[in-house]
A and B are shown apart, each in its own frame.
Chain A
Amino acid sequence: MDTTIREYQDSWEDEIESKLNEKFSGKIEFTGKETRRVYAKVPRDALFGICKFLRDELSFEHCATVIGIDMKDYMQVVYHIDNYTVYKGECIELTVDVPNDDLHVPSVSSIWGGADWNERETWELFGIVFDGHPKLERLLTPDTYEFYPFRKSYKLRGWQ
């Protein structure tokens, strides 16, 4: 894997899109492109393979965050992955849809250590289970809590 640091070029987004498409064609769907940003939608089962490819081949070595979103009919998990070497400053966003009746997503904490606590927090607040996570326990809320606070079905005091 070439780790020389390069300066930004406009063609980077297309380069990344073509490289991902040639390996995972059909599984990955690109929803948008801006300067230094690539947005893609990924099905659950292809997630782990794509993430490993991103880290090993394209040197996206930094997982910034894992975001959980409750869209009432289904849930979404959004990953932001940054690059410091080959595509310096590039950030790719992967969105994964999760159906409400089967809230499981493969965990990427073995690929990026930065995803570890982020996934734990998403589980604790939304209830999305990350398969393969080493320690899926309550992090921010006390251990005795039994509910998932950030779901839309949970209302805070004084709300309608």
Chain B
Amino acid sequence: MADDDKAAAIKTADSKVVDIAAETAKMDTDKMWIIMGPQHPFSHGLWTLKIQADGEIVTDAEPIVGYLHRGWEKEAENRPYPKIIPMADRLCYAASMTYTHLYCMTVENALGIEVPEKAQYIRVVADEINRLQSHLMWLAAVGTDLGNFTVFLWAMREREYWMDMNVRLCGARMTTNYPRIGGVRNDTPDIFDRDIIRCTERFEKALWDIIGMIDDSSIYVSRMKGTGILTREECANLGITGPALRGTGVDFDLRRDDPYSLYDTLDFDVPVLNAGDSYARYMVRIEEMLQSCKIIKQAMAKIKALGKNAPYRLKVPTNVPAGRHYAKLEDPRGESMMYLVSDGTDKPYRLKVRSPIFVNVSASKELVMGCRIADVPAIMAMIDMCLGETDR
């Protein structure tokens, strides 16, 4: 060791003898920063998660976002109100009709108009279809992360049936540009209620096959149970909303507690679990999918009861009176909000989007602290991120 010390001692530029062994012992060289970079099979969306790992245990984490930033809110300031609807579609592209619904609700609040009942129920159906599509996409991603390719294939197969419903309703599979300020673009087609009831009934049976692949296997369950634990206070303080918050025991759902778009006339349950780990978040989303089917059936019955001639769209003025208004909506990922500052012209002055995943991603440090590197994909999959709305 003495020879090594002698060999390791070098002279620096200002003739001070530096003992490398002693110096490196002071530095924290056991910990390594691993960059799960923008191109990574487990990063669902374009972001980077830098992990500092001491052996297998994660000691620090830092998310880097911004790879999809396009200045959405600034671009919205130069477009008339109806032209922002297709832009809002591309905010969260997995559940696009929820964001356009939210945007239309905000402008309708600002205009002070009340949307016809039929349009509100159609929007509810569209929202829930998008919630199912988004949750199925999430389930497919969970499948690939946990190493279960069959779940990916089956969940994508189910998702295709719901995309067919999108096509029946509005003609496009994704980013549909369907809600309008004052209602929806077109009425539901004649065969829609037959098709959607068929789809719902098929899905309620098929979902159990998919869940069985994960729940019946002790490996997947043990990978999810007990990892990524957050307490109730931490979750609420960090600003996390949605299924992640309901997985820690907070019984809050905007559809039931702060209802919009006639959700208070529909009867559904809100799943809440107390464990606060990945498995709880997973179960909350699965249960939400089944509740969505229930909501769709009730809303379709109400649409049928309203009849074919009920109005579904109002004519609205192009200029929005000056003021500040906002609307909140229960996105599949949490609570999303749009804040509109209008100045009497036909373009918004400031349109701010509050995306639930923005804060969920900022909490990724607290989520992965202390777990092993192999657990990181399983935990990050449970956050269900959609980077389009984070970076805007």
Asked whether, in the complex, the Cβ of B359 is within 8 Å of the Cβ of A156, the reply is no
Complex Cα distance A5/B234, Å?
Answer: 18
A:35-74 near B, CB below 8 Å? 36, 61-65, 67, 69-70
Residue of chain B at shortest CB distance from A59 = B236
Choose, from A10-18, A21-29, A108-116, the stretch at the interface: A108-116
Nearest CB on B from A22, distance (A): 26
Nearest CB on A from B241, distance (A): 8
**Measuring CB to CB, which residues of chain A are less than 8 angstroms from any residue of chain B?**
5, 8, 36, 61-65, 67, 69-70, 78, 80, 84, 88-89, 91, 112-118, 121, 138-142, 149-150, 156, 159
Asked whether, in the complex, the Cβ of B337 is within 8 Å of the Cβ of A113, the reply is no
The B interface, classified by DSSP as helix, strand, loop or mixed, is mixed
Complex Cα distance A42/B75, Å?
Answer: 30
Complex Cα distance A70/B349, Å?
Answer: 9
Asked whether, in the complex, the Cβ of B237 is within 8 Å of the Cβ of A113, the reply is yes
The A interface, classified by DSSP as helix, strand, loop or mixed, is loop
List chain B residues, Cβ under 8 A from A121: 358
Asked whether, in the complex, the Cβ of A159 is within 8 Å of the Cβ of B239, the reply is no
B:196-253 near A, CB below 8 Å? 233-234, 236-241, 250-252
Asked whether, in the complex, the Cβ of A139 is within 8 Å of the Cβ of B337, the reply is no
List chain A residues, Cβ under 8 A from B258: 36, 89, 91
Complex Cα distance A69/B349, Å?
Answer: 9
Q: Is B65 close to A, CB under 8 A?
A: yes
B:308-362 near A, CB below 8 Å? 328, 335, 337, 339, 341, 350, 352, 354, 358-359, 362
**Measuring CB to CB, which residues of chain B are less than 8 angstroms from any residue of chain A?**
65-66, 69, 71, 73-75, 78, 233-234, 236-241, 250-252, 257-258, 328, 335, 337, 339, 341, 350, 352, 354, 358-359, 362-363, 391-392
- Known contacts A84-B250, A113-B237, A140-B66; is-contact A64 B339 (Cβ 8 Å): no
Asked whether, in the complex, the Cβ of A64 is within 8 Å of the Cβ of B233, the reply is no
Nearest CB on B from A105, distance (A): 17
Asked whether, in the complex, the Cβ of B238 is within 8 Å of the Cβ of A114, the reply is yes
Complex Cα distance A64/B360, Å?
Answer: 11
Which single member of A63, A91, A140, A156 contacts B239 (CB below 8 Å)?
Answer: A63
Asked whether, in the complex, the Cβ of B350 is within 8 Å of the Cβ of A69, the reply is yes
Which single member of B66, B252, B354 contacts A139 (CB below 8 Å)?
Answer: B66
Which single member of A89, A112, A141 contacts B257 (CB below 8 Å)?
Answer: A89
Q: A-B pairs with the 8 shortest C-beta distances?
A: A114-B239, A117-B362, A140-B66, A140-B69, A65-B354, A113-B238, A89-B257, A61-B236
